[in-house]
Amino acid sequence: MRLRATVAYDGTGFSGFQRQTSARSVQGELETAFERVCRQSVTVLGAGRTDAGVHATGQVIACDADWKHTLPELQRALNSVLPNDVAVSDVAECHATFHPRYSARSRVYEYQVLVAPVRRPVQRLYAWQIGYELDVDRMGEAAGVLVGEHDFVAFGSAPQGDVTVRRVFSATWNRDGMLFRFTIEANAFLFRMVRRTVAVLVRAGSGQITASDVADILASKDPRRVKGVAPACGLCLVNVNYEGE
């Protein structure tokens, strides 16, 4: 049967989602767990190839495996052998043609920025800490420029091929005390697109550039216009949406 599951992981100790020969990956840990539980070789497909240090609460995976017991029992068995920084949130049977990446309608990422003058050791793995004030309204206005279908080549590179046009459905900032959270939903993302976008929007929040400048960067299609990349630790894949859901 083809199985679909939602997976959460702390990306701190991983080289990324995708399997690698000489480094720890989320895909590798999941395949090892499935092989131990199902007693067969299993290839796990993912909805998003998150980078090293990037987290997830809503990564979607699929694989083909033989399992003769209930799906809740499979979930419990997988979680019993997975390391503490990975967990399977749910498991379901799906159509044989389902692919977590190619069947997806959209993906939702969140990025956290913490404004604090003194280092916060507990939060350092899950937010980008900066020591200067930000204006959430300025960042929200600048983020609005990105909504719609655009060529985002200034903000990232194509994971494969050369098509860099993406459709952003929403891009918003919210503030809770000194924690700023950026939420963006798009049909797909370029390599490092969210982290480069955050770097630009933080500049807008600090008053270095305006929403009009962000529009100019987008229109320029020039990656040199984007200065820096936000750290991976603040980024989390929170949801993957599919037609009919």
Query: How many residues are listed for the chain in this entry?
Result: 245
Radius of gyration over every alpha carbon of the chain, rounded to an integer in angstroms: 19
Q: What is the 3-state secondary structure (H, E, C) of the chain?
A: CEEEEEEEECHHHCCECCCCCCCCCHHHHHHHHHHHHHCCCCCCEECCCCECCCEEEEEEEEEECCCCCCHHHHHHHHHHHCCCCEEEEEEEEECCCCCCCCCEEEEEEEEEEEECCCCCCCCCCCCEEECCCCCHHHHHHHHHCCCEEEECCCCCECCCCCCCEEEEEEEEEEEECCEEEEEEEECCCCECHHHHHHHHHHHHHCCCCCHHHHHHHHHHCCHHHCCCCCCHHHEEEEEEEECCC
Catalytic residues: 51
The answer to whether 168 touches 144, Cβ cutoff 8 Å, is: no
Task: Name the residue with tokens 């003194």.
Answer: 118
* Measured distance CA(226)–CA(233) in Å, rounded: 19
* Measured distance CA(85)–CA(8) in Å, rounded: 8
